[in-house]
Amino acid sequence: MKIDDQNLQIRRVRLNDGISFYRMLQSIESEARRFSNPVRNHSYSDYQDWLQKCQLESQPNFGDAVIVPQTTFWLLADNRPVGIGRIRHRLTDRLKKDGGNIAYAISMSERGRGYGSKLLGLLLGEAAKMGLTSVLVTVHRDNIASQKVVLKNWGQLVDTAGEMKIYQIDLD
């Protein structure tokens, strides 16, 4: 099934994001190929707490030398949540090797339709709006699908660290 780009949008997580978003998160593994989903198998109340945490984490002054600010986004297709992505505003030395600036996941029922490539492309646009000039994306060496997504979005392999491949994508 071809994706209709006209009906795709990305937007920041909001405090009033309801049950459809919660249900979509339930379909993404807790550690979906290195994407952390802390809401999987948790209550709706925990999900609402997580929404508040996302708002806090997106503030530029959030964090310290270990924890960095990050902004969380939904990918919507026809106003229906199909994916989630995060942009870390800056990187620690650890995140440069395992984590990168951008992480994303697509709902299990929506994988294989090209949403990952579209989501990463939209996240790159948001990262540029935040003032980033390049981003790092780390991908597990066994995750061929995500490697293809990164390469399709002009990622250049710049390093490897253990099981991770590290790609750089210039935004200018």
* Residues 3 and 114: beta-carbon distance below 8 Å: yes
Tens of pLDDT along the chain (172 residues)? 556 676 999 999 999 999 999 999 999 987 655 688 999 999 999 999 999 999 999 999 998 888 999 999 999 999 999 999 999 999 999 999 989 999 999 999 999 999 999 999 999 999 999 999 999 999 999 999 999 999 999 999 999 999 999 999 999 8
Q: How many domains in the chain?
A: 1
* Residues 33 and 140: beta-carbon distance below 8 Å: yes
State which residues form the domain around 36: 5-170
HSE (side-chain half, CA atoms, 13 Å) at 77: 20
* pTM given for the model: 0.93
As a whole number of angstroms, the distance between CA 141 and CA 151 comes to 14
Give the CATH number, domain containing residue 83. 3.40.630.30
What pLDDT, on the 0 to 100 scale, is given for residue 1?
Answer: 54
Phi, psi of 31 (to 5 degrees): -125, 70
